[in-house]
Amino acid sequence: MCRNIRQLHNFEPAATSDEIRAAALQYVRKVSGSTKPSQANQAAFDEAVEEIAHVTAHLLAHLTTSAPPKNREIEAAKARARSAQRYGAA
């Protein structure tokens, strides 16, 4: 599950709220051990996702770096190359 959590800091353009929420959702799924909570736990699950997304957005807004921003397309191409090497070309 955690492989889906991507680095969000220092990209141009900056991470969107959807990307931040997706990372928060993956984190809560991993910690809870459940991809779909029961009805009894749905409210707590949703609340945790929203709180973690909020804290993540706050963190990203306050991080600083002297490194130049990364290009999303270049980083995606590198990830595809690593995946092809690891799993074989599709």
Tens digit of pLDDT for each residue in 34-90?
999 999 999 999 999 999 999 999 999 999 999 999 988 898 899 899 989 988 865
Compute, in degrees rounded to 10, the torsion defined by CA atoms 16, 20, 22, 25.
Answer: -160
pTM for this structure? 0.79
